[in-house]
Structure formats: C-alpha cells, structure tokens
Structure 1
Amino acid sequence: MTNTNVVTAPPRSGVRRALPALGLFFLSPLVAEFLLGNIPITALFALLTLAPLYGGGAVLIREVARRRGWGYPSIVILALAYGVIEEGITTQSLFNPDYAGLRLLDPGHISFLGMGAPWTLMVLGLHTLWSITVPIVVLESLSRRPREPWLGKLGLGVYGVLFAIGVVATTAFGYTKDPFRASAGQNIGVVIAVLVLIALAVRVGRRAPRRTGGNVPSPWLIGAAALVVTSAWMLVNDQVPNGWLCAAITLAIEILAAVAVVDLSRRSSWTRLHTLAAAGGAMLTYAWHAFPESPVFGASHTADLIGNAVFALLAIGLLIGATIRCEKFGDA
C-alpha cells in the first residue's frame, strides 16, 4: 500500500510558521556538540559555523520527510545518511587512521575497508540519534502541527543552500588541517551508501504505517528505559577496551533498541508523548555525559562545569515545555 499523505507546501505561510525550522537549525548543533560536552560554553560562537551543516541537514531531512508524508522511520534512515556524509566526506573520520591524532580506527580495524568497527558504529549512531532525530522530535513536540511542513519552497531552498555551504566549508577546512584523503574506492562507497539509504527512506516512507493492538508502557517508563539504554550504549563505547567486543555490544544494543521501538511505536496506544519521552531519555544521556567529557576546545574546569549545567538545564526546560505542548494538543 502506498502512502499518499503528501503535503507539497505549508497550508499557511509567514515568519511565525518558519520559526520552528529556525529553532531546529540551531538546536541540532547545540545538542550534537554543546550538550554532549564536546564544545564548551566559552566557544558558543562556534554555533554559527556548525549550524549550516548540522542544522541545515536536520531542517532538510525534516522538511522533505513531512512534505512527502513520511514518518520517523524515514527520518531516522535519512539521519543515518547524514552521518555517512559528515563522517565519510566532510571530516573523513571513517577512514582517517589518525583523525585529530586520536587513532580512532585502531580498535576493531577492518583492513580491507580502512575503517574501525566500533568508531563507525558509534559516530554514525551519535549523528543518527542525537544530531538529527532527537532535535527534530523535540521541536516537533513543541509544534501544534508537527506533521506539516514549516517552510515554503523559498525557505526550503535557503536551508538547502546553507547545508551545501556547511558541507563544502567543513570539508575545505578539514583539507587545510589534515593532508589525509580518502581513496577513490572509499569515496565511491560513501556515495553508494548514501544513495542506498535515501532509496530505503523513500521506500519505507511510501508504505502506509501499520497499527497494531496492545498496550505500551507509560511515557515515563519509556523515557527511563531510553535513558538507561542510551547511557549503557555510551558507557560501552567509553569503557570497553576491546574493539571487537565493543562493536559487538554496541551493535546488539542498537538492534534490540530499534526492534523494541518499532514494535511499540506501531501500537495504537503509542502517542506523541511516548515519542518525546524516548527522545528525551536520549537527550538526558548527553546531558549527564557532558560532565566527564573533555571538550575539544580549551576551557577552565569551572567554565566547563558551568556550561554543562547550563546546557543540561536548557535541555530539561525544553523537554518540560515540549511535554506540556504534547499534553495540550495530543496527537493533532
């Protein structure tokens, strides 16, 4: 069965309707880098340089999906494609054996691909869930009409240009800092992977969603479970020294979590609040993980802790506001 719920343009235009897209444009890099603790609050200016890549990608993914009437499965798949683009093309961290001097590919090295199994699973997981999907869920939860497009054709074109600028600028900056260049085969592999993921997102999006019977746990339990599972995922990648064991456990957690979410979200008793709870639990994992994280930019320990606390409180505030909006508007 084909999904025919296609919206080609926003039912009403105006600056007010486009504000959620602007919010997503900045929330995506805030979650991806600042809430994680990778960049301290003293380097908040970096948000302006990160937003075109992260935010532009998130807005494009969200708008394309909602214009076509696609659901979160397609958004998640496109988010994974975004991760492949960023780490395979712009930073090349999937293939660079000495990226940032960290030797990220040594554990669980796959020689014929020139990749590291645990790093690949981790960094693509970070982008898929936290950089793209979580910000989209939070902003849509704050919206009265979460399934409708926020932008007209002009606005969509503007964010498309911003994303292209972000990709080109990040790639060019990386080239000036590191002499490494991925091989032709690796670049071709990245292009093929992105095209396959886009095709899969289209195929999944065109299928009418199937609703099943059965109860689901309360949103509070869903949020708590998401916090525990994503925290375990982070701790495995932080603490398990054996590369292949780390990759195996990481992949197992990802598969089990995906199966559980797909099964539960198909049930008729699953609501927007459940979706927000799942994203909120993941968001809180980033919030606590920031405190033991060492930022890539220099900052005093005090400034780092203050920044982590500020971003954590902002995340909690957003989740509270989104929860209130979900309860007010239901599944509209």
Structure 2
Amino acid sequence: MDSARPTGSPGTTGTARTTRAPLPPLRRRLGPVVGLLLLSPICAEYLIGYLEVMGRPVDLLIGLLLLAPLYGTAAVLIREVLRRTGRGWPSILLLSAAFGVIQAGLVDQSLFNPDFVDEPSWDLERLPTAIPALGISANHVLDFVVGHVIWSFAAPIAVVESCAPRAAERPWLGRVGIGVMVMLYGLAVLVFLHEHTKHFMASPAQLGATAASAVALAAAAFLVPRCRAPRRSGWVPAPWLAGSTAVVLMTVHHVLPASRPGTVSDLLVLVLLGGLVARWSVRAQWGRAHALAVGGAALVTNAGLAFMVEPLGEVSYTAKYAANAVLMAGVLALLFWARRRPAGTVAPQDGAERRVDTGVRGGAA
C-alpha cells in the first residue's frame, strides 16, 4: 500500500531498499476515479431522499455535476493520500471526519447557521440539544460530521475499491491527477462558501475552533500506524454478519430521536460501529468482502430508509418513490456486481506479485 516500501518478504527483517511502484494502467484507474467522484455525492445527498429535487431526473443530474467537485474530489483525495502512505480504515475514518468538519463547519456552515434550512424540522432537530454558548446543536454536530464520514467518503471508497480489486490498494492518480482534484475541490469550496455565506457567517471563534478540530483529526489520521504484515490475529465475523451488524447500527443511528438522551445513545452506537470497524479491519481475517459488506450496508440502509423520509418542499410522492426505487435498484446492482468481481493479480509495493482476495481472507482494506 505504500508508494515506497522496503523490499523483502512480509514479516522479515533485513536491509531495506525502497522502490517506487508504477501506477496501474490508466484503464484500471480511470473507472474507479470517475466512479468515486459520482458515487460520493449520490451517497451523501441522494440516497436518503430528503431533497426537494427527488423525482426530477434533470435536476438530479445537474446537481450531481455541481456536487461531485465538492464531495467526490474529497473522497478521491482521502483515499489517494492514505493508500499512498500505507494506512487503512482507522485513518480513512479519521481523515473523513476532518473533511466532514470542514464541510459542515467551514464550507456550508450548517453547524452554526440556525436558519440553514427554512423548515420546521430544522428547529425540531436543532433546539433540543442546542448549546447557545457555542452556537451549535450536539445532535447536528453528530449527524452532519458522521454523515460525511460514512456516506460522503468511507462507504463510497469501500464500494468503489471493491469494484476494482486489482487497483484497490494502489494509487490511482499521478501528480497531474492529484493537482486537478485539489483544484476542483478548491473551486467547489469557494462556490459553496460564497453561496452559503450570503446571509450568514459564523464567528471568527467558531471558524477557528472548526479549523483546529479539522487539523487535529487529520493529524490523528497520520498518527495511526501504517498497515504492516503480518497483521494482527483475532476473530472477525463473516462478511454477511459484519454487514448485518452495520445495517442494524446505522438504522438505529437514523431513528434515534433528536433529544439529549437520543443524542447520547446515538453517540454510543456510532462509537461502537466505528470501534468495531477499526478493530476488525487491522486483523488478518479482514478481507475485501468485509469492506464491501460494511460499506454496502451504509448504502442499503439509506436507500431503504429513504422510502420513509419526508422530503423538503413540495414533491410529487409518485416521482419521489420512483426515484427511491431506482436508487435502491442501482445500489443492489452495484453491490452485486462488486461482490462478483474476481480477484486479480497486482504488483504490490515490494515488487512481488500477490493476489487480492475478494473473499474472507485477502487484501487489507
């Protein structure tokens, strides 16, 4: 997973000699990059079905083109940086949290804007856990940041990597590609920041605290040890059980009330979910199928709950349910296809070929 790492057999010692492994062929990289650029905003904004444009295909497509530079580029950069430095899912979750804090606290500033959405439901979710001294709602902080961690970044990364197993642990972009992603993300941030701060701007103290939190989370992501072989031993559930557990915990996260007891319970549920993923993913039994199962669980959970979500604004329910059904069918087809993808032979960073396994054992996520 490192872009440069010592040669030799895993778990042995000796003279270290570093080499830079070449990028996979363009045909293996272009599809995953485009797929992640598109799947990230779909998971972030469309699957749960709350937008008033649900059921208007043209508006959904236009929105996707606008959202991909904000969500998709961030997901690609998170994945690229951490795969290049040889880090796994604990680091992906932490760096995703940093980008989630940036998105909700600095870009659209939904964490601080009491009138971000002109709907009664906004105050119903915000006021029970409001902290006036900080200008935030504990429930909103948890919902927005965790929503970005799971649905904007981590789950799309897991699913797209499973669709391209032969390139899953390798860099997808060269310097030019990374530069393009950074440029697109920066432009998107400027556009959305300008749009959302026309009538509201968080205080300097709020913006400073948000930036400091994002930096701390990003630093923590790089303090997590790199993935090294041999990996830890220990029990890991079968992929179907890991995925089922994730579906249950994510569903509980969504349905808990926006009260103080509900928010505390939600925090405990999410800590349990994150702790299980972090614990399982560093063990030898964790494979590509586990990552797909947990990431796919996030997509299925939101696509299923979307049928019960009340959308914002005036929406044709016939069109909304049709859109929900199409998205659910698309999710199931994508997960089925990803699960059926064959294992491939890749040239890892140490120069020796090995197999990437899509089953229970295999490539580290």
Aligned residues of 2:88 and 2:227 also touching (Cα < 8 A): no
In the alignment, the residues of structure 1 paired with residue 142 and residue 170 of structure 2 have an alpha-carbon distance, to the nearest angstrom, of 32
- Paired residue for 1:149? 171
1:251 positional shift: 0.7
- Paired residue for 2:15? none
1:15 positional shift: 5.1
- Paired residue for 1:66? 83
In the alignment, the residues of structure 2 paired with residue 3 and residue 55 of structure 1 have an alpha-carbon distance, to the nearest angstrom, of 22
- Paired residue for 1:284? 300
In the alignment, the residues of structure 1 paired with residue 171 and residue 312 of structure 2 have an alpha-carbon distance, to the nearest angstrom, of 36
Pairs within 5 Å for 1:1-332: 5=5, 10-14=22-26, 16-39=28-51, 40-42=54-56, 43-44=59-60, 45-101=62-118, 102-103=122-123, 104-143=125-164, 144-176=166-198, 179-206=199-226, 208=228, 211-236=231-256, 240-241=257-258, 243-296=259-312, 298-325=314-341, 329-330=356-357, 331-332=362-363
Q: Deviation string for 1:25-76 (max 9, x for gaps)?
A: 0110011111111331413121111111011111111111112122121111
Q: Deviation string for 1:222-258 (max 9, x for gaps)?
A: 111111111111111xxx25x2112100111011222
In the alignment, the residues of structure 1 paired with residue 342 and residue 143 of structure 2 have an alpha-carbon distance, to the nearest angstrom, of 31
In the alignment, the residues of structure 2 paired with residue 10 and residue 119 of structure 1 have an alpha-carbon distance, to the nearest angstrom, of 43
Aligned residues of 1:41 and 1:307 also touching (Cα < 8 A): yes
RMSD (Å) for aligned C-alpha atoms: 2.2
Q: Percent identity?
A: 37
Aligned residues of 1:13 and 1:152 also touching (Cα < 8 A): no
In the alignment, the residues of structure 1 paired with residue 228 and residue 270 of structure 2 have an alpha-carbon distance, to the nearest angstrom, of 24
Summarize the Cα distance change of 1:180–1:300 in structure 2 as closer, same or farther, 3 Å threshold. same
In the alignment, the residues of structure 2 paired with residue 220 and residue 232 of structure 1 have an alpha-carbon distance, to the nearest angstrom, of 18
Q: Unaligned 5+ residue runs, structure 2?
A: 6-17, 345-355
1:190 positional shift: 1.0
Higher helix share: 1
Asked which structure has the greater CA Rg, the reply is 2
In the alignment, the residues of structure 2 paired with residue 199 and residue 17 of structure 1 have an alpha-carbon distance, to the nearest angstrom, of 28
In the alignment, the residues of structure 1 paired with residue 67 and residue 129 of structure 2 have an alpha-carbon distance, to the nearest angstrom, of 30
In the alignment, the residues of structure 1 paired with residue 330 and residue 111 of structure 2 have an alpha-carbon distance, to the nearest angstrom, of 32
- The two structures have a TM-score, normalised by structure 2, of 0.83
1:321 positional shift: 1.1
Aligned residues of 1:222 and 1:274 also touching (Cα < 8 A): yes
Equivalent AA in structure 1 for residue 67 of structure 2: L
Summarize the Cα distance change of 1:205–1:59 in structure 2 as closer, same or farther, 3 Å threshold. farther
- The two structures have a TM-score, normalised by structure 1, of 0.91
Work out the number of aligned pairs and report it. Answer: 325
1:266 positional shift: 2.8
